[in-house]
Amino acid sequence: MSDALRIVVITADLDVADPADSHALEQAERSRSLRIGLLESGFNLVASLPADVFLTERLAQLQPDLIIVDAESDARDALEHVVMATRDARRPIVMFTNDNDTANARAAVAAGVSAYIVAGLQSERIRPILDVALARFQHEQALRQELAATRSELQELSTELKDRKVIDRAKTLLMERQNLSEEAAYAKLRKTAMDKNLKIVDVAQRMLDVADLLS
């Protein structure tokens, strides 16, 4: 399964790295090592992109299954770009960085990072890291879907309860004013709804509104 993953790496633009900047050269070498490790592990590396204003459009075109953020000093900015670019189509995000600040790690996880890896970019670690990140993302997605379904069910129950209260009030009104039984009052509401091609609750609400105006 992991072999078929379409992976995009977000990293600094290596083509503009200053040859005199040892830090930039180190970052470039680290990024190359990461990409080589991905290829050696059998992953499908579809692109290496900078975190710029075109990132959202490029990710939409490439449709990766997993995104790797390879960043150091600009890690926060790069992550912000990725999170914004994937907010409408969530994907597992793995972050490789030398930033070992605990607060930054927590912020990254809160922002949606599935795995935050500090240093240690050995190629043999890449596959288990990505497999765990993907499993965690899928688990979180399942929880989100379950939560959304629960909220939807609660909303439906709340709506049904409100509708039932409206219908019960309308039935009570008919029973009092037309001396009907509960069954007859409900039958009248249902017939009126069928005749007017409306929901029973809509007929009940209109009846209550008219009663309020006349009271």
Which residue ranges make up each domain of the chain?
6-121, 151-213
8 in Cβ contact with 47 (< 8 Å): yes
Opening angle at CA 48, ends 25 and 27, nearest 5: 15
CATH H superfamily, domain 6-121? Response regulator (3.40.50.2300)
**Chain length of the chain:** 215
pLDDT band at 152 (very low <50, low <70, confident <90, very high): very high
pLDDT for the residue numbered 23: 67
Distance CA 40, CA 124 (A): 9
pTM score = 0.67
According to CATH, what is the number of the domain 151-213?
Answer: 1.10.10.10
86-119 pLDDT, tens digit per residue, is 888 888 999 888 777 788 888 888 888 888 888 6
User: Is the confidence at residue 215, as pLDDT, over 80?
Assistant: no
Residue 95, Cβ density class (10 Å: 0-12 exposed, 13-18 middle, ≥19 buried): buried
CA distances from residue 120 to 73, 117, 145 in whole angstroms, order as listed:
17, 8, 34
